[in-house]
Chain A
Amino acid sequence: MIRTKQIIIVSLFFLGFQASAQLDELTPEEQAYRDSITALNLENEAIANSQEAYNSGIKSFQAKKFNEAIAHFSKSIQFDPNFTAAYYNKGIAENESEKYNDATKTFTQLIVLKPTYSKAFFQRGRSYQGLNDYLNAEKDYETSIKLDNENPKAYYNYGTLRFLQNDFDGAINYFTQSIKLDGTNPNSYNDRGSSYRMKGDYPKAIADYEEALKKNPNLAFVLNNIGTTKSKMKDYTGALAAFNRAISIDANFHLAYNNRGVVQMNQNRIDDAIKDFSKALEINSNYSPAATNLSGAYFKKKDYKKALEFGNKAVAMDKTNGSAFVNRGNAKEMLRDMIGACEDWSKAKELGSELGKNYYSSNCAN
């Protein structure tokens, strides 16, 4: 009995010795080695988690769940702050959901990690553009082009910015570059055409719009641009034809109806014009230009009550529509509300309407 106990104790001691001997078996060097492997494992785990989150983000992005995608990419970055693809995709997702401020920050972080990544500059340019920060957008597009001068989209976007800042010559230059690199994009032709149009070079504008249509004949908005340009050239027949084509492509393109109505007005076909303006309003019940034009059309028909009615509608739809105030003022005058008319022309003048300014100064100022 005693012997058994002793044996057990000895065995236990032996086992214990064996066990502690196992732990004790790690020399300091071995412990250090093991610690380094532990650290490596943690690092690999983090990278794996980052990659999994990244892939989930891509899935969400493809399902157009952009906020979800952003969350996944953020998580990916948390696990691996050097994962540049995650930054890139996060930024794109932020641009898609118009979180342009966040996107600029994301791309800035990416650029720190990858200072010569031209696409990062391009995308950050897009983000700044979304914020209407044209200055910074242009800087980024320039850098992007310096790093990669074969990206037609960078030239295109830069051209757009130049256009928005009324530098039409600059815009033409960049759109031309974009076209050289990618001659299949109808947008570049359209926008260059619009740049020529803003410079008053209508034939060149028409030529470019036609090119855009060759690339894609189903762009109703290009036909609309042709229509209004031909109107400016007083080619009303051509203008009408263009609007008709635009409408045949897109029967709900309210702009084309409205613009066609204006040509009808210029040709003194008031009733036809009213039909077109009414159609535009039917398609888009909040379309202030159509209501404005109906006010003008009824004014010409001397139906001042209807002119006032549509003037009121047009103003209610858009309080910054100077033309609406002009036309409503005209109606008010003929309905013997001179005070109301002067208020409206004054407001039109404030909003930049030359006609409003003229009517106010010749009818209201003493």
Chain B
Amino acid sequence: MKKYLLSTISIFSLFLTFSQNVEFKSANFKDDKDGLKQATDAIKSGDDYFTIANEAIFMVQSPGLNYELALKQYNVAQKFNPNNGELNYKIGVCYANSPYAQKSIQYLKKAYELDPTCDPFLNFYYGYALQLDGKFSEAIKSYEAFEEGYRKADNFNKFVSKRKKECSDAKAAMESPIRAWVDNVSELNSEFNDFAPSISTDGGEIIYTSDRPNGHTPNEAGSFDKDIYSSSLNNSKWDKPSSLKGGVNSTTDDVSNNISYDGTKLLLHRDVDGKSDIFESTLKGANWSTPEPLPFQISSKNANEVYAAYSEDGWSIYFGRDNDNRSNGFDIMYSSMQSKIQKNFMAAQMISSINSKFNEGPVYITIDGETMYIASEGSGSLGGYDIFVSKKAQGTWSKPENMGYPINTPYDDFFFSSTANGKYAYISSNRDGGQGGYDIYKVTFWGEPKPPELATEDYLLASIVNPIKDNSIEATVDVNKKSFTVFKGVTIDHITKKPVEAEIEITDNATGKLIETFTTNSATGKFIITLASGKNYGIAVKATGYLFHSENFDIPQGAADNLVNKVIELKNIAIGSTIALRNIFFDTGKSTLRSESNAELDRLVKLMKDVPGLKIEISGHTDNTGSASLNASLSQDRAQAVVNYVQSKGVAGNRMTAKGYGSSKPIATNNTSDGRQQNRRTEFEIKAN
């Protein structure tokens, strides 16, 4: 908004280059003589105040309300005739020496354009306008032009030299800004003056002073008395400020100075009998008590004391005091207590190392007592009040150093109240861009440069990237599918079926290896062994008097009942062996063979055929019943019948003889039916093999 205004003014100024200075003469206002009279009267009234104010400024003293009162009058005339160079100059000077310094720029520039010779001090103030506007080189030229023209041997040169230095310092400062942001705290500010901030240690409460409308009667200049306000921080925003609770604010100026570190006491200043004194109020619950003046060592009758601050240890009060006899403006003093209970302050002392020839104050001491922030118009300022910092070293305060731009500007920048961690501070300034007059600003210090945190990564352990795997496993195995089968059997005589003790050899036919050799049971002819399944075996059977027997057989894999049973029939071939043919049957009393004899007879045939060299005698036998001769012939016939049968089956007759023995060769007793049954038999005897 302000920038827009300035641009408009600039364009307007350009237009006005061609404007002429209009004097307050009747020749120029023939049609409005009354208006002219009113205007010139106003100017005269204004001039009275203007002169007083200028003298005070020259003496580095407060101009009081005089510029404001002069301005009130000048504005009446300005409304009538805005194109008078001198009037514009005077209005510019009034604003330049007020909190609304920014407003002076347009008037001073206009004055310069309308009538550069309207006042001997125009170059001085025009230079100031340029300085405020940041045009430092041009400002210096203007100041130098003023020096050229100003020949009086008075103290005024100190102001000019000061201003020139301010310009060069400001130029350098703006080229190297410090590491901070300065932001207008819009929630706290108004178009009026808002200043003297004091922040609680935790940064959550602020107390400050404002001359915004407060319902009291304004003074003759139309301004309201200063009151103290407070606000709380809520979600990083300040609440709407309210008048300090309790009995602090009066109908006259009450200006906040400094809140104690524990937040329970407040220093302020107010006028007493035309002089400003330091007061103290105490927080009781939610209300501040009616302020009490500090003792005379601080609040003297003959001087003005303003802007006090507590020392960090609570033993001293720092404050600003002016002196009517000297023209150094306000200086910083301090007074210490002898006893905190009695609060008996000693005489105030000046701190020469921090005071200058111009105004000092307000002052602020950090909670650790090591740093003092002090506002000063003195040497090193960039213009108006600036905030300086002084460090305590070996019990003395160092020469204050300007805090730099953007904290300080060519405008008034003063007050300093910081949070405990020093990250933020609150100041006041009437710099361009505010809401009007002095405003509260928040300083955010960037702090020391913040090096970034850089991340590196290593694979410190090789196993992360190059894992050693001991993952060798045990080797494969040969699968042995062993299964066994019980091989059971019996060796018997082929004809008689009687057990024969025999020697058996079992061979694995695949490998030719002899697996087992054993003898069958002599009584039963039985054997039982275990053989590996899934093979073909050869079995060789030997028995004395018997034909050698061999065959091969399979032991199948996975036989359900894992049992193989073999009946091995051996053929008797021993000479002299007699074998009974128990399964040969004849019709009773006859030699006719019954058919049920065939199986036995066929076995005999097989034996004869299997053993081609076998020669046998087939004999018939009876029991002793009946005639001996009949028995003899019957037995002979029966034997012959057998021979005939076997011969009929292809066995050569010359290998067999038939003989009937009748009852001559019993094998059992004839006295029993059993015995007789046994004696009735047919036999064969091996004669040759």
Contact surface of A with B, Cβ cutoff 8 Å: 3, 7, 22, 25-26, 30, 33-34, 37-38, 40-41, 44-45, 47-48, 51-52, 54-55, 58, 61, 85, 88-89, 92-93, 95-96, 122-123, 126, 153, 156, 160, 163-164, 185-187, 190-191, 194, 197-198, 212, 219, 221-222, 224-225, 228, 231, 255, 258-259, 262, 265, 288-289, 292-293, 295-297, 299-300, 321-324, 326-327, 330, 333-334, 336, 338-339, 348, 353, 355-356, 359, 361-366
Binds A, one of B149-157, B342-350, B428-436, B467-475: B467-475
Specify which of A52, A58, A321 is in contact with B455 (CB 8 Å cutoff): A321
Distance between B8 CB and nearest chain A CB, rounded to angstroms: 30
Pair A323/B454 contact, Cβ less than 8 Å:
yes
Quick check: A37 and B486 within 8 Å, CB to CB?
Answer: yes
Cα–Cα, bound, A156→B447 (Å)? 49
Query: Within the complex, which residue of B202, B452, B453 is in contact with A322, where a contact is CB–CB below 8 Å?
Result: B453
B453 contacts which of A3, A48, A327 (Cβ < 8 Å)? A327
What residues on B are CB-neighbors of A365 within 8 Å? 421
B446 surroundings in chain A (CB, below 8 A)? 333-334
Residues of A within 8 Å of B472, CB to CB, are 92
Residue of A with least CB distance to B233: A366
- By the criterion CB–CB under 8 Å, are B456 and A258 in contact? yes
Residues of A within 8 Å of B481, CB to CB, are 44-45, 48
Using A51-B479, A221-B459, A225-B459 as known contacts, say yes or no to A366 and B203 having CB atoms under 8 A apart.
Answer: yes
In the assembled complex, B654 has its CB within 8 A of some CB on chain A:
no
Inter-chain contacts of B483 with A (CB < 8 A) = 41, 44-45
Closest partner residue, chain A, to B485 (CB atom): A37
B595 adjacent to chain A (CB < 8 Å): yes
**How far is the CB of A304 from the nearest CB of chain B, in Å?**
12
Is B462's CB under 8 angstroms from A186's CB? yes
In the assembled complex, 9 residue pairs joining A and B whose CB atoms fall closer than 8 Å, in A order, are A41-B483, A44-B480, A45-B481, A89-B473, A153-B468, A164-B461, A187-B462, A333-B450, A336-B181
Contact between A55 and B468, CB atoms less than 8 A apart: no
- List, in ascending order, chain A residues with CB within 8 A of B7's CB: none
A262 adjacent to B477 (CB under 8 Å): no
Chain A residue at minimal CB-CB distance from B474: A85
Docked complex: B343-373 residues within 8 A CB-CB of A: none
Report if B220 contacts A (CB, 8 A): no
B465 at the interface (CB under 8 A from A): yes
Say how far A345's CB is from chain B's closest CB, in angstroms: 10
* A34–B563 CB distance below 8 A: yes
CA distance A222 to B460 in the complex (A): 8
Q: Chain B nearest CB: distance from A17 CB in Å?
A: 13
> Please, how many angstroms separate the alpha-carbon atoms of A353 and B451 in the complex?
13
Question: Contact string, B55-81, partner A, CB cutoff 8 A, digits 1/0?
Answer: 000000000000000000000000000
Which of A156, A160, A258, A295 sits near B452, CB closer than 8 Å? A295
Can you name 13 extra interface pairs (CB under 8 A) apart from A7-B595, A85-B475? A44-B480, A48-B480, A54-B476, A186-B462, A191-B462, A194-B461, A219-B462, A221-B466, A292-B454, A293-B452, A333-B450, A366-B201, A366-B203
Residues 550-574 of B contacting A (Cβ, < 8 Å): 562-563, 565
Measured CB to CB, the residues of B under 8 A from A are 181, 201-204, 236, 419-421, 423, 444, 446-447, 450-463, 465-466, 468-486, 488, 528, 530, 533, 562-563, 565, 595-596
Task: Give CA–CA (A2, B475) in the complex, Å.
Answer: 73
**Separation of A295 and B473 alpha carbons in the complex (Å):** 49
**Smallest CB gap from B484: residue in A:** A37
Nearest CB to that of A83 among chain B residues?
Answer: B477
A residues in contact with B562, CB < 8 Å: 34, 37-38, 41
A299 to B468, CA, bound (A): 42
A293: contacting residue among B455, B480, B482, CB under 8 A: B455
B residues in contact with A362, CB < 8 Å: 421, 423, 447
Tell which of A55, A198, A322 touches B479, judged by Cβ atoms closer than 8 Å: A55
- Give the 5 A-B residue pairs with the shortest CB-CB distance, closest first: A296-B452, A187-B462, A289-B455, A85-B474, A194-B460
Query: In the complex the two chains form, is B450's CB within 8 Å of A330's CB?
Result: yes
Q: Which of B181, B419, B463 contacts A366 (CB 8 A)?
A: B419
Q: Are B595 and A3 in contact (CB under 8 A)?
A: yes
Q: Are B473 and A265 in contact (CB under 8 A)?
A: no
Residue from B466, B480, B595 within 8 A of A219 (CB atoms): B466
Contact A292 B479 (CB under 8 A): no
Known contacts A25-B488, A219-B466, A338-B444; A293 and B454 CB within 8 A of each other: yes
For A334, list chain B residues within 8 Å (CB). Answer: 446
When distances are taken between beta carbons in the complex, the residues of chain A under 8 Å from B595 are 3, 7
Residue of A nearest to B444 (CB): A338
Q: Which residues of A contact B419 (CB under 8 A)?
A: 366
Evaluate contact between A33 and B479: CB separation under 8 angstroms. Answer: no
Rounded to whole Å, the gap between the CB of B452 and the closest CB of chain A is: 3
Q: Which residue of A lies closest to B596 (CB)?
A: A7
Distance (whole angstroms) from the CB of A189 to the closest CB of chain B:
9
A38 / chain B contacts, CB cutoff of 8 Å: 562
B596 to chain A, nearest CB (A): 7
Residue among A45, A122, A194 making CB contact with B470, cutoff 8 Å: A122
Distance, CA A237 to CA B454, complexed state (A): 19
* CB neighbours of B466 from chain A (8 A): 186-187, 219, 221
C-alpha spacing A356/B488, complex, angstroms: 92
Bound Cα distance A329, B419 (Å): 21
Chain B residues with Cβ below 8 Å from A51 are 477-480
User: Are B476 and A326 in contact (CB-based, < 8 A)?
Assistant: no
Are A30 and B488 in contact (CB-based, < 8 A)?
A: yes
Given the complex, which residues of A lie within 8 Å of B488, measured CB to CB? 25-26, 30
CB distance from B412 to the nearest CB of A (A): 26
Q: Is the CB of A355 within 8 A of B453?
A: yes
State the Cβ distance, A227 to closest chain B Cβ, in Å: 9
Asked if A52 and B479 make an inter-chain contact with CB atoms under 8 angstroms apart, the answer reads yes
